[in-house]
Amino acid sequence: MTTEVRVLQPDDWDRWFSNLELAFGTREAAEEREFDRSVTECERSIGVWDGGEVVGTAGAFSFRLSVPGGALVPAAGVTMVSVAPTHRRRGLLTSMMRRQLDDVRALGEPLAVLTASEPAIYGRFGYGAATQRMSAEIQSARVRLQLPPGAEEIGLRLADPAAVLPRCEELYARQVPKRPGMLARLPGWERKGVLDPAEERGGGTALQCVLAERAGELVGYARYHVQPEWVGTVPEGAVRLRDLEAEDPAAYAALWQYLFDLDLTSKVVLRNRPADDAWQLLVSDIRRCSVRVEDGLYVRPVDVGAALEARTYATDVDVVLEVTDDFCPWNTGRWRLSGGPKGAVCARTDDPAELTLSVRELGAAYLGGVSLGALAAAGRVREERRGALAQAATAFASPVAPWLPHGF
Ligand SMILES: CC(=O)SCCNC(=O)CCNC(=O)[C@H](O)C(C)(C)COP(=O)(O)OP(=O)(O)OC[C@H]1O[C@@H](n2cnc3c(N)ncnc32)[C@H](O)[C@@H]1OP(=O)(O)O
């Protein structure tokens, strides 16, 4: 087998993408395929060729990711990774990861991020699971919501999702710096929120959009499908939530109340919400909500110093980190991180190590959702100076759970 890694040429996109579909065993709806084509950054996507055939794919998006403190940090969004079934377990993925991380470094992006088809794949390349996605099936016919003051002042209005997209996007953009793990929209990406191929609806309605307004001003929105179901003559439909964003607790709660109250439905189904989503604190019976939490966004510091300087810290911190990075050895060594709520500097040092960890653990802890203390309890972070772990764990923590609202 002689294979060659090449940059994707736009004319090869269909063949390139077909390898991805083959590897995943899926066929995308035409509308989604067109979206994927339109957002592919060919100049930073690679294919592995075996003669005239594409046998491997990997792409990257030029994202900006929100981090603790609200900065938007350049991050390569690794995507569309596949190896043909005939060419697996011969190192093709490894060669693509090598090429890609070298390219990310050359571009000066401090981070690479991805969502994994399987959690076991990317740790070896230095990616750590940094956010969680919460799913739930809420028995809305049995569970009540306790609304905060002001919810009754919110007006709700149904609107065409595409027609109100620009207003919703303005609201979304205001939320991005408030929660680590969110992506600033690149041009064209706003369409992802309203993609609605009929063949993906599974018998449900077209996408619906409800706006929450206060005195005519947009303060929240939710996008959802209704999935009708009848058990005999009893209506047991489901509300399938796609997106919900709100500016304040009153607008947030009013939207949830609306979703709970939709006629002929008895459950609200969520697939990807933040782990600390506040509805959990409004419900009368959390046991009837079947909450489940899984891994979300994986973060890989590509330039440890720049990445650690790009975020702020909850409390003052001064710690020497001994980082190991087998796949990107330029990060290996000791780094002194000195910072706090206003900013940080992180530079190489010869001082003795105070915490020892691999770049994967650093990636997991980076957005403040995975505690350095928990990683230490798992034996994945080692404390070399007494007190260093507690200080760093407190400083790294985020007051809101980091969260990636949509896949890519
Ligand atoms: C960001 C994204 O796009 S996620 C999407 C990833 N793609 C998919 O899941 C599609 C289906 N799967 C595939 O296309 C392929 O199996 C891939 C891309 C996951 C792996 O490609 P390969 O070329 O077989 O990987 P490669 O041979 O380089 O393996 C490198 C190492 O990873 C391990 N590995 C590869 N795939 C997996 C897996 N699914 N689970 C656990 N370990 C894995 C290999 O065993 C190997 O380990 P070693 O270094 O200890 O020997």
Q: Rounded to 5, what percent of the chain is helix, strand, coil?
A: 30, 35, 35
Spatial separation of the C-alpha atoms in residues 387 and 282, rounded to whole Å = 37
Label each residue of 235-291 as H, E or C.
ECEEEEEEEEEECCHHHHHHHHHHHHCCCCEEEEEEEEECCCCHHHHCECCHHHHCC
Spatial separation of the C-alpha atoms in residues 284 and 140, rounded to whole Å = 10
pLDDT tens, position by position, for the chain (408 residues)?
Answer: 799 999 999 999 999 999 999 999 999 999 999 999 999 999 999 999 999 999 999 999 999 999 999 999 999 999 999 999 999 999 999 999 999 999 999 999 999 999 999 999 999 999 999 999 999 999 999 999 999 999 999 999 999 999 999 999 999 999 999 999 999 999 999 999 999 999 999 999 999 999 999 999 999 999 999 999 999 999 999 999 999 999 999 999 999 999 999 999 999 999 999 999 999 999 999 999 999 999 999 999 999 999 999 999 999 999 999 999 999 999 999 999 999 999 999 999 999 999 999 999 999 999 999 999 999 999 999 999 999 999 999 999 999 999 999 999
| pLDDT of amino acid 234 | 98
Instruction: Name which residue sits closest to atom 44 of ligand 1, judged by CA.
Output: 89
Cα 1 to ligand 1 centroid, rounded to whole Å: 18
Q: Which of 122, 172, 298, 313 is catalytic?
A: 122
Q: Ligand 1 pocket: which of 46, 114, 121, 326 to mutate (most atoms <8 Å of CB)?
A: 121
Q: Which residue has the tokens 């009153």?
A: 250
Cα 176 to ligand 1 centroid, rounded to whole Å: 32
Tell me how long the chain is.
408
Q: Amino acid identity, residue 119?
A: P
**Binding site listing for acetyl-CoA:** 81-83, 89-94, 117-118
| pLDDT of amino acid 54 | 98
Q: Give me 118's structure tokens.
A: 């399987």
Domains of the chain: 3-109 (3.40.630.30), 134-294 (3.40.630.30), 304-396 (3.30.1050.10)
Q: Give me 165's structure tokens.
A: 């997209």
| pLDDT of amino acid 197 | 97
Residue 408 falls in the annotated catalytic set: yes
ipTM: 0.98
Cα 86 to ligand 1 centroid, rounded to whole Å: 13
Atom of ligand 1 nearest to the CA of 88: 24
